[in-house]
């Protein structure tokens, strides 16, 4: 919800346009999915890379913590 709100603000206020890169809505617009039959594979690969790196980092960080205590 927060990232969606940031996307709406970026579309309205041009002074905060630099924030559009942190929202996933900049990379995959919902309207483009329905209007076009294909999508840019670069953004798909980039999203998968971010997910994999995030998962690996979370495993490394949480592996050191004693969650059972």
Residue-wise pLDDT for 9-53, tens only, equals 888 998 988 888 888 777 776 677 677 767 678 878 888 998 999
69 assigned to some structural domain: no
Q: Which of 61, 58, 62 lies closest to 50 in space, CA to CA?
A: 58
18 assigned to some structural domain: yes
8 assigned to some structural domain: yes
Q: How far apart are CA 27 and CA 60, in angstroms?
A: 28
20 assigned to some structural domain: yes
Q: How far apart are CA 49 and CA 5, in angstroms?
A: 24
Residue-wise pLDDT for 53-68, tens only, equals 999 999 888 887 766 6
| Structural domain boundaries enclosing 26 | 2-63
- Secondary element (H or E) of residue 22: none
Work out how many domains the chain is built from and give that number. 1
């Amino acid at each position: 919800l927060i990232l969606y709100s940031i996307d709406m603000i970026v579309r309205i206020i041009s002074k905060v346009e630099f924030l559009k890169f942190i929202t996933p809505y900049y990379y995959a617009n919902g309207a483009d999915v329905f209007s076009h039959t294909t999508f840019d594979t670069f953004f798909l690969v980039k999203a998968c890379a971010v997910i994999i790196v995030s998962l690996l980092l979370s495993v490394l960080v949480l592996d050191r913590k004693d969650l059972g205590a």
